[in-house]
Amino acid sequence: MSSNKILLTSSDGESFEIDEAVARKFLIIVHMMEDNCAGEAIPLENVTGDILSKIIEYAKMHVNEPSEEDEDEEAKKNLDSWDAKFMEKLDLETIFKIILAANYLNFEGLLGFASQTVADYIKDKTPEEVREIFNIENDFTPEEEEEIRKENAWTFNE
Amino acid sequence: MTLPELPKDLVEEILSFVPATSPKRLRSTCKGWNRLFKDDKRFTRKHTEKAAKQFQPLTLTKNYRICPINVNLHGTSPSLEVKNEVSLLDPHSKNSAPQFNIDRVFHCDGLLLCTSQKDSRFVVWNPLTGVTKWIELGDRYNEGMAFILGYDNKSCNKSYKAMSFNYLDKDSEIYEFSSDSWRVIDDIIKPPHYMDYFRECFSLKGNTYWLGIDRRRRPPDLRITLIKFDFGTEKFGYVSLPPPCQVHGFEASNLSVVGDKKLSVLVHPRLSFLLDEEKKVFLCCKSKGWMEEEDEDNVYIVGEDNKFILLNFGVETIGGESPIIINYVPSLVQIELAGSKRKTDY
């Protein structure tokens, strides 16, 4: 496998040089590379430098993604542990930005992981807290809200 | 900290990872989310694929109620807690807030098919969402009936069907939810096995499995056979299990599903068990009478460290039979019904 370098430019002008193997994790780039002349930098209009650097950091760790049947439990555990630490350091705003960027770049692995992280974060929150996070308006009338509360009251209690 | 606004499809992506038991609270966020968790089949499919599977063992008590069992392995003394019953209201009862007395239950992918003694209905119930579908049997009903629930796992539409069995050896019938119709299966070739259609069967990927003994053989040639009913082809199939699964006599054996990928066979009379893949717990439950000196129902819990812990189950069962542990996996699944509008019954 050739170790071609690909040059990426973020929306705010930062440049990143990465291995082709890493760049191929971003499906949008795979398409762009096919149209691109060799050597030219690929502009990523929708991603700022700070977010792009985080995404590249994650992509580099996951370049050799172990398959489901891989027997190397140790390696999987280490990767999971690295992933957890990676997310822990990030605030919710950054994670949201990562989700938007990973979606734009078509980087399935990170999109799933970041979405799972947010899902775990909100699963125990109250409706008010969740509304604030997603900037959602409560369009229930008090009667409707009461009805939903009743509906849920007699299913599983946690 | 103002969070960037996420487009609808990315919010849905996030929500499809929320564990199945959490949506109760999230549903009251706004009407859009409520609709998503309750009515959106496309979302439900996505969610079933993505969200981490939780295992919630259930048991059927002598009071004809379903109760969740929580196994707690943390701390110095692991414990088993049988929680309060999950309510299933009977819409036809004249009392206020009347519960349906469940005497048999069959689990398939997060749905429970329940029947009650001397009641000519069965109900398919998703305990997580509370949605129920009641089917009136009318003339079809006879007291010795039992049902299984399944779907064709080869088709992209999960079209649910129920099948009836009865002691009177009448023909089995299949009920299709999508068309609200019954069909007699008169050319069904029942396997030449001695098996108990009414107990110890399990659903895996839409099909139902039992253990049986081939009637045509005699000891020491007896083999335990795994019998399957395929809801797609609507036929029975069977495979003999290799030795050392030989028996000289036959009593009700037990079969259980491990996670939702593998089927695990434990052959022993009056023993039921389940395995929780996530918590790595093996729950083994034997009823009284197995060993003379014991007169209580006990549960063995084996944690990851392979240590046995013996606990008293503390739940009395219907007719003193062995405790039924249902390897339930909460899910948002809904059954597609005949007609366009779906009503929620309580």
Beta carbons of B22 and A140 less than 8 Å apart:
no
Instruction: Kindly indicate the confidence band of residue A133, based on its pLDDT and cuts at 50, 70 and 90.
Output: very high
CATH classification code of A5-123: 3.30.710.10
Rounded-to-integer distance, Cα A55 and Cα A11, Å: 14
Q: What is the pTM of this model?
A: 0.72
Compare all CA atoms of chain A with the CA of B344 and give the residue at the minimum distance: A151
Rounded-to-integer distance, Cα A51 and Cα A38, Å: 25
Closest CA to B20 of B60, B52, B62: B52
Strand A42-43 with A5-9, pairing: parallel
Interface of A with B in 74-113 (CB under 8 A): 91-93, 96-97, 99-100, 103, 111-112
Q: Which runs of consecutive H residues, i.e. helices, occur in chain B?
A: 8-15, 23-26, 31-39, 41-50
- Looking at the complex, does the CB of residue A66 fall below 8 Å from at least one CB of chain B? no
ipTM of this complex = 0.86
Q: How many residues does chain A have?
A: 158
Average pLDDT, chain B: 74
Phi, psi of B174 (to 5 degrees): -115, 135
Residue B94 is classified by DSSP as: S
Closest CA to B276 of B68, B64, B126, B127: B68
Beta carbons of B1 and A93 less than 8 Å apart:
yes
Domain ranges of chain A: 5-123
Query: Chain A residues with CB inside 8 Å of B24's CB?
Result: 152, 155-156
Q: pLDDT tens digits, residue range B314-345? A: 666 666 666 677 778 788 888 877 654 444 43
Q: Which of B11, B27, B51 sits opposite A152 (nearest CB)?
A: B27
Which secondary structure element, helix H or strand E, spans residue A118, and what is its range? helix A108-122
What is the spatial order of strands in the sheet that B160-166 belongs to?
B145-151, B160-166, B172-176, B181-185
Beta carbons of A103 and B10 less than 8 Å apart:
yes
Query: What local confidence, expressed as pLDDT, does residue B12 receive?
Result: 92
Q: Kindly write down the DSSP assignment for every residue of B171-237, as one continuous string.
A: PEEEEETTTTEEEEETT----SEEE-TTSS-EEETTEEEEEEEETT--TTS--EEEEEEETTTTEEE
Interface test with chain B among A46, A50, A116, by most B beta carbons within 10 Å: A116
Beta carbons of A137 and B30 less than 8 Å apart:
yes
Instruction: Kindly indicate the confidence band of residue B297, based on its pLDDT and cuts at 50, 70 and 90.
Output: low
Average pLDDT over residues B59-67: 85
CB B204 within 8 A of CB B257: yes
Compare all CA atoms of chain A with the CA of B34 and give the residue at the minimum distance: A148
Token pair 């999971």 is found at A80
- Looking at the complex, does the CB of residue B261 fall below 8 Å from at least one CB of chain A? no
Query: Chain A residues with CB inside 8 Å of B86's CB?
Result: 154-156
Query: Chain A residues with CB inside 8 Å of B34's CB?
Result: 148
Which range (A15-24, A60-69, A79-88, B49-58) has the least confidence? A60-69
Three-class HEC string of B144-183: CEEEEEEECCCCCCCCEEEEEEECCCCCEEEEECCCCEEE
Q: Which of B24, B29, B31 sits opposite A131 (nearest CB)?
A: B29
Shortest distance, CA A48 to any CA of chain B (angstroms): 13
Beta carbons of B26 and A157 less than 8 Å apart:
no
Query: What local confidence, expressed as pLDDT, does residue B340 receive?
Result: 41
Compare all CA atoms of chain B with the CA of A116 and give the residue at the minimum distance: B17
Tell me the two tokens of residue A146.
């009461």
- Looking at the complex, does the CB of residue A50 fall below 8 Å from at least one CB of chain B? no
B238: Cα separation from own chain's centroid: 21
Instruction: Kindly indicate the confidence band of residue A74, based on its pLDDT and cuts at 50, 70 and 90.
Output: confident
Which range (A54-58, A102-106, B81-85) has the least confidence? B81-85
Shortest distance, CA A119 to any CA of chain B (angstroms): 5
Instruction: Kindly indicate the confidence band of residue B293, based on its pLDDT and cuts at 50, 70 and 90.
Output: very low
Tell me the two tokens of residue B276.
């929780």
Four-CA torsion B285, B290, B294, B298, nearest 10 degrees: 0
Shortest distance, CA B43 to any CA of chain A (angstroms): 15
Beta carbons of A126 and B3 less than 8 Å apart:
no
- Looking at the complex, does the CB of residue A64 fall below 8 Å from at least one CB of chain B? no
pLDDT > 80? residue A149: no
- Looking at the complex, does the CB of residue B331 fall below 8 Å from at least one CB of chain A? no
pLDDT > 80? residue B246: no
